[in-house]
Amino acid sequence: MAQADLPLDIKLMTLATRGLVGVFAVLCLGVIGTWIARHPAWNLRTISVHGEVTHQNAVGLRAQLATQMRRTLDGSFITVDLQQVRALFESVPWVRSAKVQREFPNRLRVTLEEHQAVAWWGASGSGQLVNRLGEVFEASPDEGDGLPELAGPAEQSTQVWGLYQMLSVELARLQMGLVRLELNERGSWSAELDNGVHMELGRGTPEDIQARARGFTSTLGQLTQRYPGALQSVDLRYSNGYAVRVRGVTTLTGADLQAPAPTPTR
């Protein structure tokens, strides 16, 4: 009997049977796949840590992540969520980024990149540091006494770090070191030097501040030679010059300074 001659109910039963067979085949494949994924041969046995581990080691990581790791790694080599493992390692102090890869048949390879601290964010010992990319992170360095201090709105930390580097190069011409750079809420910059000198840098872009600092460092040599160690403060908030205060004398450099000068003292 041809298919077209079959009664409608027979056709429907045939289609239903084929559908059930298809569903059964899919379920069987799912069961087999689950069995394979959960087979003891795929149990995750080792996590190897590589990369920058100056501030971390395998023992320390296990101690810090023991509870979270048991919860996160509750699965096999095949089913473990690599993003969760990555986030777990990146929650550890000093770890900037983690790359997690599967290694057949039952290993995970974690490659760490650590923060490289270049400055304190805020006051020394604040618990917040700045890395070489200008990012703020929380950690406590083993030796942080030699780090400079940077301060300002957290979202502008990269800009503060960038200006610090530019100013350090300029001030090195006078053999001066920069120990603190701050951007206040009004957008005005100030700095402290390693010889105790306070600098008012004014407002503007980092390029504006650098240009004013270059004008200062390129013309101050004679004064520092004449009065070695006497410099007390510097004011660069002028459009065509700057003011300095030294012990025993106050001088203004530049004609017709456009900003209000500080009250001079002798």
Q: Which residue has the tokens 């083993």?
A: 142
Q: Domain coordinates of the chain in residue numbers?
A: 9-38, 44-114, 117-253
- pLDDT at position 243 is 87
Q: What is the pLDDT of residue 201?
A: 96
Cβ–Cβ under 8 Å, residues 111 and 90: no
Output the pLDDT for position 187.
93
Q: What is the pLDDT of residue 58?
A: 67
Q: State yes or no: pLDDT of 228 exceeds 70.
A: no
Instruction: Assign 256 a pLDDT band (cuts: 50, 70, 90).
Output: very low
User: Is the model more confident about 198 or about 23?
Assistant: 198
pLDDT of 1 reads: 47
CATH topology (fold) of 117-253: Rossmann fold (3.40.50)
Q: Model confidence over 53-109: pLDDT tens digits?
A: 888 776 677 677 767 776 666 666 677 888 988 998 898 889 999 999 988 777 888
CATH fold of the domain at 44-114: Ubiquitin-like (UB roll) (3.10.20)
Confidence at 262, pLDDT banded by 50, 70, 90: very low
| Sole residue written with tokens 């890395």 | 131
What is the reported pLDDT for 264?
A: 36
The pLDDT of residue 253:
52
